[in-house]
Amino acid sequence: MTQFTPIKAMADARLNRFHIILLLCCSFIMFFDGYDLIVYGSVLPTLMTEWSLTPDQAGWLGSAALIGMMIGALTLGSLADRIGRRPVVVHGTLLFSLAAIATGLATTPEAFGALRFLTGIFLGGVIPNIVSLMNELAPRANRHALTTIMLSIYSVGSIVATLVALWVLPLLGWKPVFFLSGAALLFLPFLYRWMPESMTFLMSRGKETEARALLRRAVPTQNHEHVHWTVPAPQHRPSVSASRLFREGRLLGTPMVWLSFGMCMLMVYGLNTWLPKIMIAGGYDLGSSLQFLIVLNIGATVGALAGGWLGDRFGNKLVLVIFFALAVVSLILLGTHPGPELLNILLFIAGATTIGTLAVVHAFGADYYPAEIRSTGVRWCSAMGRFGAIAGPILGGALIGLKLPLGQNFLIFAIPGVIAIAAVLLVARTKTVEESHAEPQPAESQTSSIS
């Protein structure tokens, strides 16, 4: 009788209750990731007034959580390799929820920035691990769809954060908007009960009892008598040096992929942080400006789902060029003071083709590198992209400080889109869709595709 490994059995499984619960657990965390990182942009105009912040100070406060996320991804990601993904996810969710609640108690900009930094550290440790779990435990046939759905929930959290700010700010001020981030604590018992551990981790640690229980949950209809539980001896392969990313014809391509990541994230975090304030400076009231942020993130949700579907069919490179071009055009037109209907259409398109492009640009980076260096390649792409994310709020603060006209503000935010188009076009070749699907993709290679 043919034997098979637990990992293969899980990859070949049919979609079932276990995978739906996994999707709910991971999407719940992604929702609060979107809520917590976008809530700052929603309350920024109020904070600047209350604490008499300069635009530069507000920009650096906006980047505090993003700097924390970079550090958290590097430090807590390594911790998960030693103690498991589940404890990092569960306890990280507890800690980022407590840090978010404490942010609402801050009485000075310095305390606020420190708590945002801590929130970012814990989120930075949690998010890559839930993406990794989804990629490892989801059925192969449904893996891409489930991951895309999970990532799109980020924008749903952003929408809810803006709606909460729209309703709560006029009545209670900015503090309760952060207290509501603590609602994640109410879901911790659910996470503790249902969040699974990595099968690879359990087998590598010789935890066969827990691994068998996980397999029964994930593949309840499988005849487990034919599962081969012996853990193969680890293959001691040399670590991949970052210099390998520049070899084999990638001397120009790798920096250009990094640049496309950075420019995309700069637009994403710059717009989500500063759009309300830019619109207020352009003559709109606070309520209308927050509504514009909602439209932007509704577009982001649609763009994330559509981008993944289009990328699978036409290739990620073509989709990226088209999306970035639409982003440039929509942002420039936003600076022309369009009428209400056109304004909302342009905001929807801008959200779809900037925030919604994040999933596509990560897939583009993964496609560029062969399987044996893909994990290293995507990690470096994500790390370089974080510099763009950190720069976005700082750039927005500088623009507000210059008191430029509305049109010039949006024109400057469109420039990274032009740079991204040039960078993508200068990448000599990515694998075709068929090649990408045919080549095995280890789960860890996609762990950076978030945030």
CA distance 443 to 241: 20
Judged against a pLDDT cut of 70, whether residue 449 lies above it is answered with no
Model pLDDT, residue 330: 96
With cut-offs at 50, 70 and 90, classify the pLDDT of residue 412.
very high
Model pLDDT, residue 434: 41
Which CATH number applies to 1-231?
1.20.1250.20
With cut-offs at 50, 70 and 90, classify the pLDDT of residue 282.
confident
Fold of 245-451: Growth Hormone; Chain: A; (1.20.1250)
pLDDT in tens, 165-224: 889 988 899 999 999 888 888 889 999 999 999 888 888 888 888 888 888 888 887 665
Model pLDDT, residue 413: 94
Across the chain, what does the average pLDDT equal?
84
In order, the DSSP letters of 38-85 are: HHHHHHHHHHHHHHT--HHHHHHHHHHHHHHHHHHHHHHHHHHHHH-H
Q: What is the mean pLDDT of residues 135-146?
A: 84
Q: What is the mean pLDDT of residues 309-336?
A: 92
Least confident of 55-59, 167-171, 370-374, 438-442: 438-442
Judged against a pLDDT cut of 70, whether residue 446 lies above it is answered with no
With cut-offs at 50, 70 and 90, classify the pLDDT of residue 371.
low
pLDDT in tens, 103-133: 999 999 999 999 999 999 999 888 888 888 8
Q: Where are the domains of the chain?
A: 1-231, 245-451
User: Which is nearest to 397 in space by CA: 67, 68, 57?
Assistant: 57
- What is the helix, strand, coil percentage profile of the chain, to 5? 80, 0, 20
Residue bearing tokens 């990313």: 245
pLDDT in tens, 346-356: 999 999 999 88
Q: Identify the three-state secondary structure at position 275.
A: helix
Residue bearing the bigger pLDDT, 164 or 231: 164
User: Which is nearest to 277 in space by CA: 395, 106, 358, 389?
Assistant: 395
Separation of CA 140 from chain center: 22
Q: Report the half-sphere exposure of 18 (CA within 13 A, side-chain side).
A: 21
With cut-offs at 50, 70 and 90, classify the pLDDT of residue 5.
confident
Model pLDDT, residue 375: 64
Which residues on neighbouring strands pair with residue 122, listed in sequence order? none
Cα radius of gyration (the chain): 22
User: Which is nearest to 374 in space by CA: 428, 451, 441, 430?
Assistant: 441
Name the token pair of 147.
């991951």
Please check whether the two domains, 1-231 and 245-451, share a CATH topology.
yes
Least confident of 117-131, 277-291, 362-376: 362-376
Residues of the chain with pLDDT > 90, as a percent, come to 40
